[in-house]
A = this chain, B = another copy of it.
Amino acid sequence: MLSIVGIGPGGYDDMTVRAVNAIKNADVITGYKLYVDLVRDLTGGKEVFCTEMRGEVERCKKAAEFAISGKNVALISSGDAGIYGMAGLVLKILEDHPEVETEVIPGVSACQSGGAVLGAPLVHDFAVISLSNLLTPWSLIEKRLEAAASADFVIVLYNPGSHKRKDYLSRACDIMLRHKSPETVCGLVKNISRDGETSSITTLERLKSTPVDMLTTVFVGNSQTTVINGKMVTPRGYRI
Protein backbone atom coordinates (compact mmCIF):
# COMPACT_ATOMS: atom_id res chain seq x y z
CA MET A 1 0.00 0.00 0.00
CA LEU A 2 1.24 3.45 -0.92
CA SER A 3 -0.41 6.25 1.03
CA ILE A 4 0.14 9.69 -0.44
CA VAL A 5 -0.31 11.80 2.68
CA GLY A 6 -1.05 15.51 2.85
CA ILE A 7 0.16 16.67 6.26
CA GLY A 8 -1.27 20.20 6.09
CA PRO A 9 0.78 23.28 6.98
CA GLY A 10 3.09 21.39 9.31
CA GLY A 11 1.82 21.18 12.87
CA TYR A 12 0.43 17.98 14.36
CA ASP A 13 -2.87 19.71 15.17
CA ASP A 14 -3.57 20.54 11.55
CA MET A 15 -3.16 16.94 10.36
CA THR A 16 -6.22 14.78 9.85
CA VAL A 17 -6.61 11.71 12.02
CA ARG A 18 -6.26 9.60 8.85
CA ALA A 19 -2.93 11.23 7.97
CA VAL A 20 -1.58 10.63 11.48
CA ASN A 21 -2.62 6.97 11.35
CA ALA A 22 -1.19 6.43 7.86
CA ILE A 23 2.20 7.66 9.04
CA LYS A 24 2.03 5.60 12.23
CA ASN A 25 1.08 2.44 10.28
CA ALA A 26 3.67 2.81 7.51
CA ASP A 27 6.84 0.71 7.25
CA VAL A 28 8.66 3.42 5.31
CA ILE A 29 8.30 7.21 5.22
CA THR A 30 9.44 9.13 2.15
CA GLY A 31 9.35 12.85 1.45
CA TYR A 32 11.13 16.17 1.20
CA LYS A 33 13.40 16.40 4.22
CA LEU A 34 11.84 19.62 5.57
CA TYR A 35 8.36 18.06 5.61
CA VAL A 36 9.45 14.71 7.01
CA ASP A 37 11.13 16.63 9.84
CA LEU A 38 7.76 18.24 10.64
CA VAL A 39 6.29 14.83 11.44
CA ARG A 40 9.44 13.36 13.00
CA ASP A 41 7.55 12.57 16.23
CA LEU A 42 5.42 10.06 14.32
CA THR A 43 8.20 8.37 12.37
CA GLY A 44 10.29 7.00 15.24
CA GLY A 45 11.93 3.67 14.46
CA LYS A 46 10.76 3.60 10.84
CA GLU A 47 12.78 3.50 7.67
CA VAL A 48 12.95 7.04 6.28
CA PHE A 49 13.96 8.12 2.78
CA CYS A 50 14.27 11.87 2.23
CA THR A 51 15.39 13.99 -0.67
CA GLU A 52 16.17 17.67 -0.84
CA MET A 53 14.22 20.33 -2.80
CA ARG A 54 13.71 19.53 -6.48
CA GLY A 55 14.06 15.82 -5.66
CA GLU A 56 10.38 15.17 -6.40
CA VAL A 57 10.83 12.56 -9.13
CA GLU A 58 13.54 10.72 -7.19
CA ARG A 59 11.52 10.41 -3.99
CA CYS A 60 8.31 9.42 -5.78
CA LYS A 61 10.17 6.71 -7.71
CA LYS A 62 11.69 5.47 -4.46
CA ALA A 63 8.27 5.45 -2.78
CA ALA A 64 6.91 3.46 -5.72
CA GLU A 65 9.80 0.97 -5.47
CA PHE A 66 9.13 0.42 -1.77
CA ALA A 67 5.43 -0.15 -2.48
CA ILE A 68 6.14 -2.54 -5.37
CA SER A 69 8.36 -4.54 -3.00
CA GLY A 70 5.35 -4.98 -0.70
CA LYS A 71 6.04 -2.38 1.96
CA ASN A 72 3.48 0.01 3.42
CA VAL A 73 4.76 3.40 2.36
CA ALA A 74 3.68 6.88 3.44
CA LEU A 75 4.79 9.52 0.97
CA ILE A 76 4.59 12.87 2.77
CA SER A 77 3.45 16.03 0.98
CA SER A 78 2.97 19.35 2.73
CA GLY A 79 -0.51 20.84 2.46
CA ASP A 80 -2.73 18.58 0.36
CA ALA A 81 -0.90 15.89 -1.63
CA GLY A 82 -3.48 16.39 -4.38
CA ILE A 83 -3.04 20.19 -4.74
CA TYR A 84 0.27 20.88 -6.50
CA GLY A 85 1.42 17.81 -4.56
CA MET A 86 3.00 14.50 -5.35
CA ALA A 87 -0.19 12.49 -5.92
CA GLY A 88 -0.28 12.89 -9.71
CA LEU A 89 3.40 12.10 -10.16
CA VAL A 90 3.23 8.92 -8.09
CA LEU A 91 0.16 7.62 -9.91
CA LYS A 92 1.97 8.23 -13.21
CA ILE A 93 5.11 6.46 -12.02
CA LEU A 94 2.99 3.47 -10.99
CA GLU A 95 1.22 3.35 -14.37
CA ASP A 96 2.70 -0.08 -15.18
CA HIS A 97 2.01 -1.41 -11.68
CA PRO A 98 -1.78 -1.46 -11.32
CA GLU A 99 -1.35 -4.16 -8.65
CA VAL A 100 -0.01 -1.60 -6.17
CA GLU A 101 -2.80 -0.25 -4.00
CA THR A 102 -2.71 3.51 -3.55
CA GLU A 103 -4.67 6.02 -1.49
CA VAL A 104 -4.56 9.80 -1.46
CA ILE A 105 -5.12 11.28 2.01
CA PRO A 106 -6.12 14.93 1.72
CA GLY A 107 -4.68 17.58 3.99
CA VAL A 108 -5.23 21.25 4.67
CA SER A 109 -3.75 23.23 1.78
CA ALA A 110 -2.20 26.71 2.05
CA CYS A 111 -5.30 28.32 0.52
CA GLN A 112 -7.23 27.00 3.52
CA SER A 113 -4.75 27.45 6.35
CA GLY A 114 -3.75 30.87 5.05
CA GLY A 115 -7.37 31.78 4.43
CA ALA A 116 -8.23 30.86 8.01
CA VAL A 117 -5.45 33.12 9.32
CA LEU A 118 -6.77 36.04 7.26
CA GLY A 119 -10.44 35.40 8.03
CA ALA A 120 -12.75 34.02 5.36
CA PRO A 121 -11.55 35.05 1.90
CA LEU A 122 -12.72 31.88 0.06
CA VAL A 123 -16.40 31.85 0.89
CA HIS A 124 -17.27 32.40 -2.78
CA ASP A 125 -15.96 31.00 -6.10
CA PHE A 126 -12.18 31.05 -6.29
CA ALA A 127 -9.26 30.13 -8.53
CA VAL A 128 -5.92 28.74 -7.41
CA ILE A 129 -2.92 29.61 -9.58
CA SER A 130 0.77 28.86 -9.09
CA LEU A 131 3.10 31.62 -10.30
CA SER A 132 5.99 29.17 -10.65
CA ASN A 133 6.99 28.78 -14.28
CA LEU A 134 9.40 25.92 -13.62
CA LEU A 135 6.89 23.45 -15.07
CA THR A 136 4.30 25.74 -16.70
CA PRO A 137 4.82 28.32 -19.48
CA TRP A 138 4.46 31.88 -18.21
CA SER A 139 2.08 32.65 -21.09
CA LEU A 140 -0.41 30.10 -19.71
CA ILE A 141 -0.08 31.54 -16.20
CA GLU A 142 -0.83 35.00 -17.63
CA LYS A 143 -3.85 33.66 -19.47
CA ARG A 144 -5.22 32.12 -16.28
CA LEU A 145 -4.64 35.29 -14.25
CA GLU A 146 -6.44 37.34 -16.87
CA ALA A 147 -9.38 34.93 -17.12
CA ALA A 148 -9.81 34.59 -13.35
CA ALA A 149 -9.58 38.35 -12.81
CA SER A 150 -12.03 39.09 -15.64
CA ALA A 151 -14.72 36.91 -14.03
CA ASP A 152 -14.27 38.37 -10.54
CA PHE A 153 -12.95 35.18 -8.93
CA VAL A 154 -11.19 35.37 -5.60
CA ILE A 155 -7.65 34.33 -6.60
CA VAL A 156 -5.10 32.47 -4.49
CA LEU A 157 -1.49 32.60 -5.68
CA TYR A 158 0.87 29.79 -4.71
CA ASN A 159 4.64 30.21 -5.17
CA PRO A 160 4.27 33.96 -5.73
CA GLY A 161 8.00 34.66 -5.87
CA SER A 162 11.53 33.43 -5.35
CA HIS A 163 15.07 34.73 -5.71
CA LYS A 164 14.94 34.13 -9.44
CA ARG A 165 11.37 35.37 -9.88
CA LYS A 166 11.40 38.63 -7.94
CA ASP A 167 9.01 40.51 -10.22
CA TYR A 168 6.43 37.79 -10.94
CA LEU A 169 3.91 38.98 -8.38
CA SER A 170 4.19 42.52 -9.69
CA ARG A 171 3.59 41.27 -13.25
CA ALA A 172 0.62 39.20 -12.04
CA CYS A 173 -0.83 42.28 -10.30
CA ASP A 174 -0.57 44.29 -13.51
CA ILE A 175 -2.65 41.66 -15.28
CA MET A 176 -5.26 41.47 -12.53
CA LEU A 177 -5.44 45.29 -12.37
CA ARG A 178 -6.82 45.27 -15.91
CA HIS A 179 -10.03 43.86 -14.42
CA LYS A 180 -9.92 44.35 -10.66
CA SER A 181 -10.00 47.64 -8.79
CA PRO A 182 -6.71 48.89 -7.28
CA GLU A 183 -8.62 48.95 -3.98
CA THR A 184 -9.41 45.21 -4.12
CA VAL A 185 -8.78 43.70 -0.69
CA CYS A 186 -5.75 41.38 -0.70
CA GLY A 187 -4.03 39.32 1.97
CA LEU A 188 -0.64 37.70 2.47
CA VAL A 189 0.32 34.93 4.86
CA LYS A 190 3.89 33.74 5.37
CA ASN A 191 5.13 30.65 7.23
CA ILE A 192 1.57 29.46 7.83
CA SER A 193 1.25 27.61 11.17
CA ARG A 194 5.02 27.66 11.62
CA ASP A 195 7.45 29.74 13.65
CA GLY A 196 7.48 33.28 12.32
CA GLU A 197 3.95 33.18 10.89
CA THR A 198 2.99 36.64 9.70
CA SER A 199 -0.02 37.95 7.83
CA SER A 200 -1.17 41.26 6.48
CA ILE A 201 -4.07 42.76 4.59
CA THR A 202 -3.46 45.24 1.81
CA THR A 203 -4.85 46.42 -1.53
CA LEU A 204 -4.12 45.10 -5.02
CA GLU A 205 -2.33 48.36 -5.84
CA ARG A 206 0.00 47.98 -2.85
CA LEU A 207 0.39 44.22 -3.35
CA LYS A 208 2.18 45.02 -6.60
CA SER A 209 5.23 46.29 -4.72
CA THR A 210 5.07 43.91 -1.73
CA PRO A 211 8.05 41.53 -1.44
CA VAL A 212 7.12 37.84 -1.25
CA ASP A 213 8.89 34.50 -1.27
CA MET A 214 8.12 30.80 -1.79
CA LEU A 215 6.74 30.55 1.76
CA THR A 216 4.13 33.26 1.16
CA THR A 217 0.59 32.60 -0.03
CA VAL A 218 -1.27 35.52 -1.60
CA PHE A 219 -5.04 36.12 -1.62
CA VAL A 220 -6.70 38.56 -4.00
CA GLY A 221 -10.34 39.27 -3.16
CA ASN A 222 -13.30 39.60 -5.48
CA SER A 223 -15.20 42.88 -5.89
CA GLN A 224 -17.29 42.14 -2.78
CA THR A 225 -14.42 41.17 -0.47
CA THR A 226 -14.18 43.45 2.53
CA VAL A 227 -12.34 43.92 5.83
CA ILE A 228 -14.27 43.27 9.03
CA ASN A 229 -12.48 43.82 12.34
CA GLY A 230 -9.15 43.29 10.65
CA LYS A 231 -10.23 40.09 8.87
CA MET A 232 -10.47 39.57 5.09
CA VAL A 233 -14.03 38.42 4.38
CA THR A 234 -15.70 37.49 1.09
CA PRO A 235 -19.49 37.47 1.49
CA ARG A 236 -21.63 34.62 0.17
CA GLY A 237 -24.73 36.77 -0.19
CA TYR A 238 -26.78 36.00 2.90
CA ARG A 239 -29.09 38.76 4.21
CA ILE A 240 -28.73 39.29 7.93
Q: Given A127-B153, A148-B151, A229 and B106 touching (CB < 8 A)?
A: no
- Name the residue of chain B whose CB is nearest to the CB of A146: B151
Give a binary string over A214-240; 1 marks a CB under 8 Å from any B CB, 0 the rest. Answer: 000000000000001101011111111
Say yes or no: A123 contacts B84, CB within 8 Å. Answer: yes
What does DSSP make chain A's interface, helix, strand, loop or mixed?
A: mixed
Q: Given A146-B151, A235-B92, A87 and B126 touching (CB < 8 A)?
A: no
Kindly state whether residue A93 has any CB partner on chain B within 8 Å. yes
Say yes or no: B56 contacts A115, CB within 8 Å. Answer: no
Say yes or no: B240 contacts A57, CB within 8 Å. Answer: yes
Kindly state the separation between the CA atoms of A237 and B150 in the bound complex, as whole angstroms: 26
How many copies, total?
2
Pick from A95, A121, A126, A147 the residue with the most CB of B within 10 Å.
A147
Output the least CB separation between A130 and chain B (Å).
6
Kindly state whether residue A206 has any CB partner on chain B within 8 Å. no
Kindly state whether residue A53 has any CB partner on chain B within 8 Å. no
Output the least CB separation between A18 and chain B (Å).
4
Kindly state the separation between the CA atoms of A146 and B61 in the bound complex, as whole angstroms: 38
Partner of A88, one of B57, B89, B102, B236: B236
Give a binary string over A79-93; 1 marks a CB under 8 Å from any B CB, 0 the rest. Answer: 011111101110111
Chain B residues, Cβ within 8 Å of A93: 240
- Name the residue of chain B whose CB is nearest to the CB of A129: B125
Binds B, one of A65-73, A135-143, A165-173: A135-143
Output the least CB separation between A23 and chain B (Å).
13
Say yes or no: A14 contacts B16, CB within 8 Å. Answer: yes
Kindly state whether residue A74 has any CB partner on chain B within 8 Å. no
Q: Could you list which residues of chain A lie within 8 angstroms of chain B, going by C-beta atoms?
A: 6, 8, 12-18, 20-21, 56-57, 61, 80-85, 87-89, 91-95, 98, 102-109, 112-113, 115-116, 119-130, 135-136, 140-141, 143-144, 146-148, 150-153, 228-229, 231, 233-240
Q: 5 tightest A-B contacts by CB?
A: A135-B237, A147-B151, A87-B120, A88-B123, A106-B112
